[in-house]
Structure 1
Amino acid sequence: MPYHKDNAAEAADGPLADLADLILNVGRLVRARTPEGSELVPLTETERQIMRVVDLYPGAAPSEIARRTRLQRTNVSTALRSLEDKGMISRTATTGRGIAVRPTDRAADNLRMLRAAWARELAGILGNDIDTVQQCTGLLSRLEQRFTADDSIERDPQ
């Protein structure tokens, strides 16, 4: 059933609210089990959000990163300076006064280590239920694409 304002109370107790709650909690639990080590570069929550967008949209301008993350431009600028200091991003000038932000090799290595740790953790819980994992991944990917869609791009109303 599509969401309407008249259904707000029902929606709060419905399956979409349950899904959002579970996504947030499972993400928190996965992050809590992420190993810490001298090889991993520790990131703040804001830095993690920004790195996700930089990985999805390499070459994005800081203003585009702010739009896609729904973060304040000043917070993005501060986090970009920190990420650059940590060796996670590079910023290069483009035409005019533009800046393109790209992940570095260090960022790619960091992400590989994190993904390997997450995969080990989930494999221990989910085993070989790959079909269900792929269905869930597809759903979450569609949600992420919609949530990170650039406001200047017309969204699909479905």
Structure 2
Amino acid sequence: MEDEAIHGPGGDAPPGAPETFPAELTDALVGIQRLIRRRLRGGLTGPRLRGAEVELLRLVESRPGIGVSEAARELHLASNSVSTLVNQLVRDEYLVRETDPADRRAARLRLTGAAEKRLEDWHRRRAELVGGRLARLDGADHDALRAALPALRRLADLLHEDPEADEDPTVPVSAPAGAAAAPAGPWTEGTPS
């Protein structure tokens, strides 16, 4: 009975079967993310940051001057939760909160030099780690991973959408012919803990 709950009627499904593919893909992506995070923690200097703090720093890195409310929407968090994160990161000297000249009640967020250095170091170390492991794969694996990137980016975009906006989850989403790949979504970046 337990086997049926996990694998569906009929017992074990072969790897890659339609009913197991979502779980297999998720497990692989989460596993890669977790391993990258663990490996990069080894050379960490400074205090460890929580995942939500890192997500906020990375958002501010990609969109300097973003407001707290907009950051909350992008991160799918409550505004008061993001305000708490902002206060902590300001206290730790990773974020600067500036008054928005257009609306004096609103704040704009910018990274400090310490945050920029930490993120830059983490990006460099991550590229070295993953690049070194990719170099050990054969050409067919490289080609398969490169070919999967556009679909993975589209999946990330769909996961980022508001679940209320789903019209018909059975309709496949594909990029128009010749469309450029979307920039890497947040799931690709890992966590510079």
Query: Are positions 1:25 and 2:70 aligned together?
Result: no
Matches within 5 A, 1:126-137: 126-127=134-135, 134-135=146-147, 137=149
SS at match of 1:98: strand
- TM-superposed CA distance for 1:79, in Å, is 1.0
Query: Are positions 1:102 and 2:117 aligned together?
Result: no
Query: Are positions 1:82 and 2:88 aligned together?
Result: yes
- Structure with higher Rg: it is 2
Distance 1:16 1:90, change over 3 A: same
Unaligned runs of 5+ in 2: 1-7, 10-16, 174-193
Structure 1 residue runs of 4 or more that deviate by more than 3 Å after TM superposition? 9-12, 35-41, 128-149
TM-score when scaled to structure 1?
Answer: 0.72
Distance 1:79 1:136, change over 3 A: farther
Higher helix share: 1
Report what 2:66 is aligned to: 60
- TM-superposed CA distance for 1:110, in Å, is 0.5
Query: Are positions 1:71 and 2:77 aligned together?
Result: yes
- Once the two structures are superposed, residues 65-108 of structure 1 have per-residue CA deviations (whole angstroms, 9 ceiling, x without a partner) of 11111112222111111111222111111122111112222211
Distance 1:47 1:127, change over 3 A: same
Report what 1:4 is aligned to: none
- TM-superposed CA distance for 1:12, in Å, is 7.8
Tell me the distance in 2 between the aligned counterparts of 1:53 and 1:110: 14
- Once the two structures are superposed, residues 35-93 of structure 1 have per-residue CA deviations (whole angstroms, 9 ceiling, x without a partner) of 34563452111101212221222211111111111112222111111111222111111
Tell which deviates more after alignment, 82-91 or 125-134.
125-134
Higher relative contact order (CA 8 A, sep 6+): 2
RMSD value, Cα: 3.2
Q: Find 1:124's aligned residue among 128, 132, 139.
A: 132
- Once the two structures are superposed, residues 115-153 of structure 1 have per-residue CA deviations (whole angstroms, 9 ceiling, x without a partner) of 12212221232117666565555555444455556x6xx
Structure 1 contact 41–110 (Cα < 8 Å) conserved: no
SS at match of 1:71: coil
Tell which deviates more after alignment, 9-18 or 94-103.
9-18
Distance 1:61 1:12, change over 3 A: farther
Structure 1 contact 61–101 (Cα < 8 Å) conserved: yes
Structure 1 contact 59–100 (Cα < 8 Å) conserved: yes
